[in-house]
Structure 1
Amino acid sequence: MNFVSEFLSFMAWLMARPRRSLEVLGLWVYLFIKNNAAAVQDEDGSWYWPVWFEVDSSALRAFMDGISSKRLWELRQELIRYSRLEYQKASGGAPARYALIPSTQGCGRYAWVPQTIPAAVSSGSPPRNAVETRRDSTRNALGNKTGFLLIQI
């Protein structure tokens, strides 16, 4: 995803809506920044955003000035209803997982599959239409080198 293009596209979508909400903007921006922070860099210097990323709900609610769980659910459902977001509920002590749906044209969605833990797939279960594009050793935003498999979905 291109950071600026995606942000401007979301803002255009939000401004075109008859009922705008700063809370929807706050939720999406928080998730957008978290998704960007989870990006990994490949050997040629290109950055890839993961399709699915984890978010601690209590940190999200604190960012949004202590918003209630019910209101967070309503805002999340609004973004899901307009195909701006996918969501997997937290379970077993694991954080909730989110996937932003790119709105800019020409943006492929990619999932990074860690190669050190075969059962762990960053996009939940591998999508039926997943196509392996390459295997790489990458660096995440912290500079840690990790082996990944990049699949296009």
Structure 2
Amino acid sequence: MNYLTELLAFYRWLADSPVSPLLQAYWHLLMYTNNRAAIRTAEGVWYWPVAFKLPNTMAMPLLGLKDRRVLLRQRGYLINRGLVTYQKNVSQRAGLYRMVPFDKGLEAIWVRDERRDSVTQVWAQAVPLSADGLSPLININTKQTSLLYSNQEDAANIHGFNLLPPLSDEEKAEIKARCPDDDVAAFNAMWAARERKQMAGKK
């Protein structure tokens, strides 16, 4: 699944299907959470998991909610609009969310997570985004970014997508040392470091 592609499609959908700012924020929070749950295979390929968890106790403060019933009602709206599905946990723990991609060329496959040595169902591109009529809300993104997961270490390109300055080997090693067992945390830390470097260069 491609974050930018889904984001652009969401706003095209929103033009004809307006929803409240709270519901928009909820959808964005779920996309962010799904993205942070990305897994990597032994081949070094990143994938979005089909199912992921977001406890109510984490979602409510981020959405500015104090009443659990409001959150449940908003979740129901997302489900009714066909944006997500949700499977309750029988033991009252966090259930499983599943985003409903706008890109209909995706399929769910099983891959092995290199960190947990277990298989996880993930989204993979089965049909090219250019397939006519398959995903009417998809406006083809011509920027050079992976369909699976954008590579933050790519050099800047003429399309202006990966313009953050690269990290030195020493900077990357220092971040990896701080996150030895969490590749996703290391990825996010490197991205944040590159953003700080870019901001420092503008001063």
> Please, what TM-score do these two structures have when normalized by structure 1?
0.68
Q: In structure 1, how many angstroms separate the alpha carbons of the residues matched to 2:66 and 2:109?
A: 31
Determine if contact 2:39/2:47 at 8 Å carries over to the other structure.
Answer: yes
Q: In structure 1, how many angstroms separate the alpha carbons of the residues matched to 2:15 and 2:111?
A: 32
* Larger relative contact order, structure 1 or 2 (CA cutoff 8 Å, min sep 6): 1
The 5 Å alignment of 1:117-132 reads none
The change in CA–CA distance for 1:30 and 1:92 in structure 2 (over 3 A counts) is: same
Q: In structure 2, how many angstroms separate the alpha carbons of the residues matched to 1:31 and 1:111?
A: 21
Aligned twin of 1:49: 48
1:61 and 2:60 aligned? yes
Bigger Rg over Cα: 2
Aligned twin of 1:131: none
The change in CA–CA distance for 1:92 and 1:69 in structure 2 (over 3 A counts) is: same
Determine if contact 1:39/1:140 at 8 Å carries over to the other structure.
Answer: no
User: Structure 1: where are the runs of 5+ without partners?
Assistant: 124-138, 144-153
1:80 and 2:79 aligned? yes
Aligned twin of 1:135: none
Determine if contact 2:65/2:71 at 8 Å carries over to the other structure.
Answer: no
Q: In structure 2, how many angstroms separate the alpha carbons of the residues matched to 1:46 and 1:113?
A: 11
Aligned twin of 2:139: none
How many residues matched? 124
The change in CA–CA distance for 1:11 and 1:109 in structure 2 (over 3 A counts) is: farther
Q: In structure 2, how many angstroms separate the alpha carbons of the residues matched to 1:41 and 1:113?
A: 8
1:10 and 2:53 aligned? no
Q: Which is richer in strand?
A: 1
CA RMSD of aligned residues (A): 2.5
Share of identical aligned residues, percent? 26
> By how many angstroms is 1:80 displaced?
0.9
Q: In structure 2, how many angstroms separate the alpha carbons of the residues matched to 1:22 and 1:110?
A: 33
> By how many angstroms is 1:102 displaced?
0.6
Q: Which is richer in helix?
A: 2
1:141 and 2:141 aligned? no
SS in 1 for 2:106: coil
Q: In structure 2, how many angstroms separate the alpha carbons of the residues matched to 1:13 and 1:29?
A: 14
SS in 2 for 1:109: strand
Determine if contact 2:42/2:112 at 8 Å carries over to the other structure.
Answer: no
Q: In structure 2, how many angstroms separate the alpha carbons of the residues matched to 1:75 and 1:116?
A: 35
